[in-house]
Amino acid sequence: MDEQGPEAFRGYVAARSPALLRTAYLLTGNRADAEDLLQTALAKTYLAWDRIREREAVDGYVRRVMVNTQTSFWRRRKVDEYATGELPERPAGRDATNDLVLHDALWTALSALPKRQRAMVVLRYYEDLSEAETAQVMGVSLGTVKSTTSRALAKLRDTSGLRDDPRGALPSGALA
């Protein structure tokens, strides 16, 4: 590419990207896919920049590259995906609705705790600090952290109906 090539290409991209992005969006129907398509088309255009003689035809060239690239994607997708009569198994994992209910119940119960207990529970289980780190942050002894956290967890169990998991920790992700 000659010395003026990269600068001319940058100027073209700066001037024409919004219009070309709209075209890419119409081809893909999705903004993220349109950005990827335009990026790919501009990369291919950059490689061919010296071969494009008529600068007025660059828009047409980029559009043609976008259409060809999107068509190739559609063809690959058509081969990779096929309809089936059976639904796939449900993903194993947690139920988001139950997690949301648990999250709300926990935060409601946390807000009812005294400030010191709430701070220690948040530091220990949300911030994942050790007992020693929590004691240092709070400016109290290690024993105070242990007893205060224990009382706070007991109060949370009693007031919210929440129970520990079998390993003895708060439910995973409950404070997230």
CATH of the domain at 60: 1.10.1740.10
Report yes or no: 123 and 145 within 8 Å, Cβ to Cβ: no
- Tell me how far apart the alpha carbons of residues 110 and 106 are, in angstroms, rounded to a whole number: 6
* Same domain, yes or no: 14 and 46: yes
DSSP string, 85-132: SSPPPPPPS--HHHHHHHHHHHHHHHHHS-HHHHHHHIIIIIS---HH
Number of domains in the chain: 2
User: 3-class DSSP state for residue 53?
Assistant: coil
pLDDT of residue 167: 39
* Same domain, yes or no: 126 and 73: no
The pTM of the full predicted model, rounded to 2 decimals, is 0.43
- Tell me how far apart the alpha carbons of residues 41 and 61 are, in angstroms, rounded to a whole number: 9
Structure tokens at 94: 């947690």
pLDDT of residue 170: 46
Please identify which residue in the block is written with the tokens 């002894």: 141
From first to last of the 176 residues of the chain, give the pLDDT tens digit: 555 678 889 999 999 999 999 999 988 888 999 999 999 999 999 998 888 878 788 988 999 999 999 888 877 766 666 677 777 777 667 777 877 887 788 778 888 888 889 888 888 987 888 999 899 888 999 999 999 999 998 888 887 666 655 434 444 444 44
* Same domain, yes or no: 100 and 75: no
Rounded to the nearest 5°, which phi and psi values hold at 13? -60, -45
pLDDT of residue 108: 85
Tell me the residue range of the domain where 41 lies.
4-80
Distances (CA, A) of 41 to 36, 38, 73: 9, 5, 13
In a domain, 123, yes or no: yes
